[in-house]
Chains A and B, each alone.
Chain A
Amino acid sequence: MGWLFRLLVDDADRRAIDSDLAELHDYRRRRDGADAADRWLRRQRRIYPWHLLADRAGTALLRVTTMPHLWSDVRHTLRSLFRVPALSATIVLTVGTALGATVAAIVLTRAVLVNPLPYADADRLQWVYTDNPPYRFSLSVVDYRALEADHPAFSAVAAFQRTQVAVSDGDVSERVTARTVTGSYFPLLGQKPYVGRLFDASDDARDDRVVVLTYGYWARRFGSDPTVLGRSMTIDGARATVVGVLERTSGPLEHDVALFSAARWPTPTRKGPFFTTVLGRLRPDMSADVAQQTLRATNARLFPIWRSSYQDEKATWGLVDLRARVIGEVGSTLIFLLAAVACVLLIACANAVNLLIARSLQRGRELAIRGALGASTGRLLQYVLVEASLLTVGAALIGLGVAAFVLQLVGAYGGDYIPRIDEVRFSATAVAWLAGLAVASGVVMGIVPAWYGARLRMDQALRGGGRSSTDGPTPRRIQRALVAAEFALATPLLVAGALILASLDRLSHVPVGIDTSHLLTASVSLPRARYPQETSREAFWKRALERLAALPGVQSVALSDGRPPSESSQQNNFDLEDRPTPAGQHQPVSTWVGVSTGFFTATGLALERGRLLDERSLQDDVVVVDRAWARRFFPGEEVLGRRFRGGGCTTCPWTTVVGVVGDVRWTGLDASGPLGTVYYPFVDLSTGFVLVRTAGDPLALHLAVRQAVKALDPGLALSDVATGDELMAEALATPRYLTILIGMFAGTALILSLVGIYGVMAYFVQQHTLEIGIRLAIGGNPGQVRRLVVWHGVRLVVAGVVVGTGAAVLATRLMSNVLFGVSATDLRVIVGVPAALLVAAVAACLIPAQRAAALDPAEILRDA
């Protein structure tokens, strides 16, 4: 907002303000300390433009409301607007809706991309990751312990692991998302308790289990009961005591989290696994580059200690701003959406200006009479501007409703697609944006008609009677330019819409690799406390498979630790016996999925060569791979019998490939190409999906499956229940969401542009009735007149579409990361969309053209 400050305050006053603020900053630094004073100064600078704006707006409002004759003008204009309801409603609704959508997009973009995270000193918070190009993954407990002991770049570090836990209370059991966090976690983020206390360093060493609830979970499960402190809860079968409730926060790190427990991670015996998210606060004098070097140095010292379980010397640590990490790839999509709604707003405004020019040309006579009766130019200007202002106020009110509605909709349904969604809300800032944009639209809508009103040649207007060609070429030129501009803006939107639609079509035709019909899937998690041994877990899964297979209507049952098309749990590295990784190089990585022996039957995944997994596969250390894996590592060679060692282990026995199956999508439908999959035996994992192939409707068996699991262990909860078809629909949800949004914008842009060209041509015909009449009277045929009018309109559209196509070619490149299987410059779309647009425009021009051709020359000449 610095630019606004510079715009509203002159240089000398800026210098005076700066020195006054500096003096107050000095005073506060002595009184409250440097940190508080810096925070105060930042706040003062942030609020300055808002104070200025409020002052200027107040003054302007005072000036406007005390203008002479204002209220009589308002009354008269309202009456005259109600006499043309179609025009008034079109302007108010289109500009209002576009205003609301634009404000919603701005609020969303600001909340997600611009606003600092709601944590203390958020711009210094960093996410530390294992950098193993092209992969970035979390750290391990070993890594965190090393960083905790030696972190010269950070003033503090903290870590957490995300888990799913079963919370049971009597018969009721539910699965919730939890975090195990180190004692330094809450202090690092500067979070405070709402009631009770949060964790500190002493909790890292406690023996009893304690938890902190999030505000939302406390409200939902305990009805905000303040006596919850000290209460005992059963989490994953073990008792834990509630010690506090976290303050009400809307940060991305708390999204969907129900509770936090203190991290008491066992002392590791190997370097992995890498499931620990590490956060650090950069020291104030530390740059990211220097911090990166110190991280590398710490990592290099750690490497030799754990070489036996991790050989990838090239993998190191990197850091990235936590906000950038949270936002991910959504940033470019949001900016694209913002650009799309802004285009729609511009088109709506251009359309409104067009309609208002036509109206003011028609009102020329009325204005001329007012002028002839003694109204000054200023008075006429006020009269014209009041009309634009009233339309703007109407549009702003509609916009307010639309913005609030859209933001509510996005908040309710966008949680899975948009990060930081909890921070998006309709606030005073949104209203300020709406007011600002409405004023800008009002100025745009009022300026051209006002300019025309002020330049009105009274004698001509009075003589012309409103049906001559003497209105002067300028307003007509502006009208035509506006229509061309509307098409220039609509073309890229339509091209983008067509590209995204084509992309969605490709995506929905990607073969997932398994038969998703008649498939019911659900997640089951065995609490460590009650299933501590491998044998107890193995026994449970065996009983579960038997029980589920015995249900009526079940054809086959299986277990896996992932679900197609986008829920693979593991990406593991390994070393091939025949292609050993040179020292210091990255080992190859592929998707690993644990499956029970019945998996291939239940999913319809066909064996291509060799054999499938059986009961002895775990002891024999054998796996099945897919076609993509075989092609990637042994192109044109025999893959059966090849051996490798997984997870960077140098002392483990060799694992042998015994079979090859078809390709399955595990890492998303839009993954650039399968990296290959290894299927290993699912025997004693603690969390897995049950896959049930049914004869009839899979959802009809939902209850029976749930009861069967409950019968085996009443403390277990079935979660994430979904049919195979639902999983596919879920994978397509984000692109579908985007397609609908862009489709809506593109559709609106198309309709507005067509209304624009229709309006201009209808007005053209009306203004040239006399000329057309003469032409017809002296023997011109109706076909010629029709062609003349259509050609007149199409010229404008062609100009707009040509410019728009150029813009589309440039703009759609920004979309390449949301497109799948379609090039951003796909020739069929780039040529087809403008062509279709031209056809639609010709159709819109044909209506007034037909009217012109059907005119009766005798009647026209008599009236003239």
Chain B
Amino acid sequence: MSTPTLQHFELHVLLAMLHEQGETYSVPLVLALEQRTGRPVAQAAVFITLQRLERKGLVESRLDEPESGRARRYFALTPEGLTAIETHRAEHARLWQGFDRAFRAHKA
């Protein structure tokens, strides 16, 4: 199966999940993305993106509803999700190859 295409924000969410390691939910992801981008991030955007990634098979989720306490949907990266991140990274690395020298020449 070919790796599904990833939108910019979808990649951000996947990277934030990778950083969180293991199962996580929308709140730590919102806070991590806000901290890293320096911009406010809507919980709606993160939660809906997670659902979309699940439809693409890149993350999986389970609902946790304790008798007392808050209901939560936990998300975790699937092996396909991990592969998608790696593929993107390799693609980007190839795209960026040789640019360091070009940048230096431009700045000089």
Binding site for B on A (CB under 8 A): 12-13, 15-24, 27, 44, 47-48, 51-52, 55, 59
Residues of A within 8 A of B42 (CB): 44, 47, 51
What is the predominant secondary structure among interface residues of chain A facing chain B? helix
Q: Does B52 contact A (CB under 8 A)?
A: yes
A48 engages B25 (CB within 8 Å)? no
Q: Contacts A12-B71, A16-B71, A27-B31 known; A51 to B63 CB distance under 8 Å?
A: no
A-B contact pairs, 18 of them (CB 8 A): A13-B51, A13-B63, A13-B73, A15-B65, A15-B71, A16-B25, A16-B73, A17-B47, A19-B70, A20-B26, A24-B30, A24-B43, A48-B44, A51-B42, A51-B44, A51-B45, A52-B48, A55-B51
- Complex formed: what's the CA distance from A44 to B25 in Å? 17
Least Cβ distance of A557 to chain B in Å?
66
Residues of A within 8 A of B89 (CB): none
Least Cβ distance of A41 to chain B in Å?
10
Q: Does B6 contact A (CB under 8 A)?
A: no
- Complex formed: what's the CA distance from A667 to B17 in Å? 69
- Complex formed: what's the CA distance from A62 to B1 in Å? 19
Select one of B44, B55, B72, B73 contacting A44, CB under 8 A. B44
Residues of A within 8 A of B52 (CB): 55, 59
Number of A-B pairs, beta carbon distance below 8 Å = 54
Q: Does B90 contact A (CB under 8 A)?
A: no
B71 engages A52 (CB within 8 Å)? no
B71 engages A23 (CB within 8 Å)? no
Residues of A within 8 A of B26 (CB): 17, 20
Q: Contacts A20-B25, A24-B27 known; A12 to B65 CB distance under 8 Å?
A: yes
**Nearest 8 CB-CB pairings of A with B:** A19-B70, A15-B71, A51-B44, A16-B73, A48-B44, A20-B26, A16-B71, A55-B48
Select one of B27, B45, B48, B55 contacting A23, CB under 8 A. B27
Considering only CB atoms, which chain A residue lies closest to B47 in the complex? Answer: A17
Query: B26-39 CB contact bits vs A (8 Å, 1 = yes)?
Result: 11001100000000
- Complex formed: what's the CA distance from A18 to B26 in Å? 11
A23 engages B70 (CB within 8 Å)? yes
- Complex formed: what's the CA distance from A676 to B42 in Å? 62
Considering only CB atoms, which chain B residue lies closest to A58 in the complex? Answer: B52
B72 engages A20 (CB within 8 Å)? yes
Residues of B within 8 A of A22 (CB): 70
Considering only CB atoms, which chain B residue lies closest to A45 in the complex? Answer: B44
- Complex formed: what's the CA distance from A137 to B72 in Å? 55
A16 engages B44 (CB within 8 Å)? no
- Complex formed: what's the CA distance from A20 to B72 in Å? 7
Residues of A within 8 A of B31 (CB): 24, 27
Considering only CB atoms, which chain B residue lies closest to A26 in the complex? Answer: B27
Residues of B within 8 A of A20 (CB): 25-27, 43, 47, 72
- Complex formed: what's the CA distance from A20 to B65 in Å? 13
A44 engages B43 (CB within 8 Å)? yes
Residue with the greatest number of chain A CB neighbours at <10 A, chosen from B45, B51, B71:
B71
Least Cβ distance of B18 to chain A in Å?
20
- Complex formed: what's the CA distance from A47 to B42 in Å? 9
A19 engages B72 (CB within 8 Å)? yes
A16 engages B63 (CB within 8 Å)? yes
Least Cβ distance of B62 to chain A in Å?
11
Q: Which residues 34-91 of B sit at the A interface, judged by CB distance below 8 A?
A: 42-45, 47-48, 51-52, 55, 63, 65, 70-73
- Complex formed: what's the CA distance from A22 to B65 in Å? 15
Select one of A16, A24, A48 contacting B72, CB under 8 A. A16
Residues of B within 8 A of A13 (CB): 51, 63, 73
- Complex formed: what's the CA distance from A446 to B25 in Å? 41
- Complex formed: what's the CA distance from A22 to B43 in Å? 11
Residue with the greatest number of chain B CB neighbours at <10 A, chosen from A18, A27, A51, A59:
A51
- Complex formed: what's the CA distance from A474 to B73 in Å? 48
Least Cβ distance of A63 to chain B in Å?
12
Residues of A within 8 A of B30 (CB): 24
Q: Contacts A13-B73, A23-B70, A24-B27 known; A52 to B44 CB distance under 8 Å?
A: yes
